[in-house]
Structure 1
Amino acid sequence: MAQTPTTFPVPETVPTGTTLSIQSSPNLGIATQALKQGFESAYDGTTVEVEVTSSDDALRALLADQIDLAAIGRPLTAAEAKEELVTVPLERAKIAIIIGPENPFIGNLTFDQFARMFRGEITDWSEVGGPPGPIRFVDRPENSDVRRSLSQYEVFRNAPFQTGATADPVAEDDTATVIAALGRDGISYAIAPQVLGQSGVKIVPMHQTLPDDPRYPYSQPRFFVFKGSPSPAVAAFLGYATSAQGVAALATDQPVEVPAIAATPATPAPTPTAAPPPAEPVAPTAAEGRGGLGWWWLFPLAGLAGLVWA
């Protein structure tokens, strides 16, 4: 049955000439490449081919017997779960909120503020404590696994999951493309391992926490998927991928390569106008006023964000 937990032993040896084909979603592509290199180094004479595509396309190829494994960043749909597909869950990846290095915003955001930025309800940086200036929300394609993961949180389910007039979508679900589009006024989101330690972005704290904090809420599920009974090659690779060595490779920072970007010209000073009022005036608590964390932060942030997926 699909979704049945499956474990695989680490192989002592793998026959020379073993080959394996994998299609991976963009946000697992770098991690899958790292596993490919580790597997081929550990077992001489093996070859793992990795192609980056969407989770949807990878699963279609798997069902058509065109590949051996799919690496996806979402759960199976109800229809997919009825097929002969077996998922092997991997560690979830945190989702970071990112802005460009030249963006003057230095504060943090709440769950509600980011959701309202996504929907285009908050349109100016001054509404979240930054210098006055328009917000541009750099969004990913609708079939993006990271985007789909955000849609499962309660704060995004309280209103239609759609962007507003501030949206500036990129054509490809590619973190390097997203980073290149940020400029001085953009904000977006990305898988944390691809942006941690990345000089081309700044990571915005959520409720004073960063993605390397266990309490940080937003994350994306990740799975390997095979069809039917695993072949010896699939079983060997999954044994390596789920071993301590494989898990370490998945957890390692995997910053994407971003082409050098010319410095963005300074935005002309706006004509003095009254700053737009906060979209939802709320008196700050004493802890928020000090920039600190109240006692209630002892509770897991994930619960506050309200994840719908189990």
Structure 2
Amino acid sequence: MSKASNKETLTLALALLITGGLAAGGIWYFQGNLSNQSIEKTDDNQNRQLQNSTNQIIGTSSLDTSLPSPSVLTIDGSVTMVAAIKQLQIAFSLINPSLSTTYGVPDGKPNGTNAGIKNLIDGKVLMAASSRRLKPKEIQAGIVGIPIAKDALAVTIGINNPYQGGLTMAQLKGIFQGKITNWSEVGGLNAPIKVINRSRDSGTHTFFQDVVLLGEEFPPDGANFKTLERDETTPILRALGKDGISYSTVTQIENQKTVRIVPIDGISPTDQTAIQNASYPISRVVYLAVPQKTNPATKQFIDFTLSTQGQQIIKRAGFIPIQ
């Protein structure tokens, strides 16, 4: 065979090799792209399924605002969120002065998350502030929850309580289930523990039960265990004395001079980084709850809450902005 023929053969072989490599690379590239698209689509579907299964939605774009706007935007719900909601109401009135807002029915005092959401479902109010996630029966009733801030619960004792230590989550559960009844059992003095529990109307009560008691029941009221009738924080703090223990949102506790916060698992709820990354074990998200089918005014209030100005108000009220 001539040198020219050998050269042509070699050139042809190289061309075939390069062509084959490009083809294989193209197949690999398109397969990879299809695979990535499939993964992204799967992730989107999973996120959508998670959102649909919990009815906790991000923003208001999925709300149906076909109902007519009211002359008064009625709100009820969380006592925990009262300062934030009232500050939001004041600022919102400057943006939409023709729309009045109220918080709490019928006397202008919020009734707590659980009662507030019931009033929402019953059509007595248009929106509810919620300090917990929605329950399945509330989701079935067509209610959705929109996250607006992060928060944490503080376990608190009276300033004159001799106990100076912290508690583990297991010890906290034992105390609030009536299994640990003396301060000496957690390293304190020999004195009975008096538990003061929040009202059953309180979303904070429900959240504490879910997270600390893992959904198990509180014990019945007795000599050293009392559940309050109304969701109010001040009577709880007054009742702590030298042997009491209770819990509330950290914003209602951290600046009080008559009580002391008990660290849980060695972490204080005043550590905002620990709340932000949920390393503090009793951290939570708070919400505005509305029917899926609502009105433009309600959407406008929530959009304002999620705006830069609204989130600054959330921060000033002691919460951590959601965005």
Normalised TM-score (structure 2) = 0.69
Give the structure 1 partner of residue 232 of structure 2. Answer: 174
Aligned length: 247
- The sequence identity of aligned pairs, in percent, is 27
| CA offset digits 1:21-41 (Å, max 9, x no partner) | 111222222221121122124
Instruction: Report the CA distance between 1:117 and its aligned residue.
Output: 1.1
Aligned to 1:293: none
Answering whether residue 75 of structure 2 is matched by residue 22 of structure 1, we say yes
**2:309 aligned with 1:251, yes or no?**
no
- SS at 1:92 equivalent: strand
Where in structure 2 are the equivalents of 1:219-238 lying within 5 Å? Answer: 219-238=283-302
Q: Does 1:75 align with 2:128?
A: no
2:173 partner amino acid = A
Q: For 1:138 and 1:64, locate their aligned partners in 2 and report how far apart those are by CA, in whole Å.
A: 30
Give yes or no for the alignment of 1:241 onto 2:294: no
Per-residue deviation, residues 146-180 of structure 1 (Å, max 9, x unmatched): 12112223x52396543675313322221111111
1:43 Cα deviation from its structure 2 partner: 4.3
The CA distance in 2 between the partners of 1:240 and 1:159, in whole Å, is: 38
Cα distance in 1 between the residues matched to 2:293 and 2:132: 21
Between 237-246 and 60-69, report the one with greater CA deviation: 60-69
Partner of 2:184: 126
Normalising by structure 1, we get a TM-score of 0.71
- 2:156 partner letter: I
CA distance in 2, matches of 1:104, 1:239: 47
- Name the SS for the 1:35 alignment partner: helix
- In structure 2, the CA distance between the partners of 1:4 and 1:104, relative to structure 1 (3 Å rule), is closer
* 2: CA distance, partners of 1:160 / 1:47: 40
1:14 aligns with: none
Match of 1:156 among 213, 218, 227: 213
Compare 174-183 and 241-250 and name the one that shifted more.
241-250
Q: Per residue, is there more helix in 1 or in 2?
A: 2
* C-alpha distance in structure 2 between counterparts of 1:164 and 1:62, whole Å: 30
Mapped partners of 1:163, 1:219: distance in 2: 26
Q: Cα offset for 1:210?
A: 0.6
Question: 8 Å contact 1:193–1:252 — kept in the other structure?
Answer: no
* Paired residue type of 1:185: D
Deviation string 1:265-291 (CA, Å, 9 cap, x unpaired) is: xxxxxxxxxxxxxxxxxxxxxxxxxxx
Contact 1:139/1:188, CA 8 A, preserved across alignment? yes
Alignment-derived partner of residue 113 in structure 2: 55
Q: Offset of 1:189 from its aligned partner?
A: 0.5
Report deviation, 1:56.
3.2
Q: Is the CA contact (8 Å cut-off) linking 1:120 and 1:163 kept in structure 2?
A: no
Q: CA RMSD in A?
A: 2.6
- Note the C-alpha offset of 1:241: 0.8
- Partners in 2 of 1:160 and 1:19 — Cα distance? 39
Unaligned residue ranges in structure 1 (runs of 5+): 10-16, 256-310
